[in-house]
Amino acid sequence: MTDTAHSLGASRTLWELIDRRARLTPDCTVLLQDDRRLTFGELRGRCERVAAGLYARGVRPGTVVAWQLPTRIESVVLAGALARLGAVQSPVIPFYRDREVGFALDACAAEFLAVPGVWRGFDHTAMARRIGARGILEAYEDLPDGDPSALPPPPDDGTEVRWIYWTSGTTSDPKGVLHTDRSLIAGGSCLAHALRLTSADVGSIAFPFAHIGGADYLVMLLLYGFPAVLFEKFALPEALEAYRRHGVTTAGGSTAFYSMFLAEQRRQPGEPVVPTLRLLAGGGAPKPPELYHSVVREMGVQLTHGYGMTEVPMITMGSPDDRPEDLATTEGRPPEGMEIRIVDGEVRLRGEAVCRGYLDPEQTAAAFDADGFLITGDLGHLTESGHLVLTGRLKDVIIRKGENISAKEIEDLLHEHPGVDEAAVIGLPDPERGERVCAVVQQPEGAGPLSLHEVAEYLRGAGLAVHKLPEQLELVDALPRNDTLRKVLKYKLRERFTGADTTSRA
| pLDDT tens digits, 333-347 | 999 889 999 999 899
* Domain made up of 397-505: CATH architecture: 2-Layer Sandwich (3.30)
Whether pTM > 0.75 for this model: the answer is yes
The amino acid that residue 226 corresponds to is F
CA 350 to chain CA centroid, Å, is: 20
d(CA 215, CA 218): 5
**Do 398 and 425 meet the contact criterion of CB atoms below 8 Å apart?**
yes
Average pLDDT over residues 320-331: 94
CA 266 to chain CA centroid, Å, is: 28
Average pLDDT over residues 53-72: 98
E strand or H helix that includes residue 201: none
Confidence band, pLDDT 50/70/90 cuts, at residue 440: very high
Q: Give the pLDDT confidence score for residue 358 in this predicted structure.
A: 98
Residue 443 DSSP code: P
**Do 33 and 209 meet the contact criterion of CB atoms below 8 Å apart?**
no
Average pLDDT over residues 326-335: 94
Residue 9 DSSP code: T
Q: Write phi, then psi, for 445 (nearest 5 degrees).
A: -60, 130
**Do 29 and 39 meet the contact criterion of CB atoms below 8 Å apart?**
yes
* Residue 233 CB contacts under 8 Å (≥ 6 apart), including other chains: 70, 120
454-479 residue pLDDT tens: 999 999 999 999 999 999 999 999 99
E strand or H helix that includes residue 449: none
**Do 353 and 338 meet the contact criterion of CB atoms below 8 Å apart?**
yes
Q: Give the pLDDT confidence score for residue 169 in this predicted structure.
A: 44
Closest Cα partner for 220 from 288, 306, 96? 306
- Other CB atoms within 10 Å distance of the CB of residue 362: 8
Measured between alpha carbons, how far is residue 285 from residues 282, 328, 400, 481 in Å?
9, 14, 7, 28
Average pLDDT over residues 142-157: 97
Average pLDDT over residues 34-60: 98
**Do 57 and 145 meet the contact criterion of CB atoms below 8 Å apart?**
no
Confidence band, pLDDT 50/70/90 cuts, at residue 141: very high
**Omega before residue 429 within 30° of 0, cis:** no
d(CA 427, CA 176): 23
* Residue 156 CB contacts under 8 Å (≥ 6 apart), including other chains: 12, 13, 16
Closest Cα partner for 138 from 118, 120, 122? 118
Closest Cα partner for 354 from 362, 79, 369, 344? 369
416-434 residue pLDDT tens: 899 998 899 999 999 989 9
* pLDDT for 59 beyond 50: yes
Give the gyration radius of the chain's Cα atoms: 23
Confidence band, pLDDT 50/70/90 cuts, at residue 489: confident
**Do 432 and 259 meet the contact criterion of CB atoms below 8 Å apart?**
yes
Q: Give the pLDDT confidence score for residue 255 in this predicted structure.
A: 82
Q: Give the pLDDT confidence score for residue 256 in this predicted structure.
A: 82
Q: Give the pLDDT confidence score for residue 503 in this predicted structure.
A: 67
Q: Give the pLDDT confidence score for residue 166 in this predicted structure.
A: 95
- Other CB atoms within 10 Å distance of the CB of residue 325: 12
Q: Write phi, then psi, for 390 (nearest 5 degrees).
A: -95, 135
E strand or H helix that includes residue 163: strand 161-167
Residue 51 DSSP code: H
Helices (H), 57-174: 73-85, 98-108, 124-130
Mean pLDDT check: name the lowest of 163-167, 220-224, 480-484: 480-484
Average pLDDT over residues 243-267: 92
For the chain, percent of residues with pLDDT exceeding 90: 80
Confidence band, pLDDT 50/70/90 cuts, at residue 289: confident
- Spell out the domain ranges in the chain: 3-185, 397-505
390-406 residue pLDDT tens: 877 776 789 999 888 88
Q: Give the pLDDT confidence score for residue 6 in this predicted structure.
A: 84
**Parallel, antiparallel or unpaired: strands 228-230 and 203-205:** parallel
* pLDDT for 482 beyond 70: no
Residue 460 burial (C-beta neighbours within 10 Å; 0-12, 13-18, 19+): middle
Average pLDDT over residues 63-80: 98
Which of the following CATH numbers is that of domain 3-185: 3.20.20.70, 3.40.50.980, 3.40.50.2300, 3.40.50.720?
A: 3.40.50.980
Q: Give the pLDDT confidence score for residue 239 in this predicted structure.
A: 96
Average pLDDT over residues 15-35: 98
**Beta bridge partner(s), residue 113:** 66, 136
Q: Give the pLDDT confidence score for residue 501 in this predicted structure.
A: 65
Q: Pick the residue with more confidence: 115 or 270?
A: 115
Q: Give the pLDDT confidence score for residue 113 in this predicted structure.
A: 98
Measured between alpha carbons, how far is residue 381 from residues 230, 375, 385, 460 in Å?
36, 14, 11, 39
E strand or H helix that includes residue 138: strand 136-138
d(CA 106, CA 133): 9
**Do 186 and 353 meet the contact criterion of CB atoms below 8 Å apart?**
yes
* pLDDT for 172 beyond 60: no
* pLDDT for 170 beyond 70: no
* pLDDT for 488 beyond 90: no
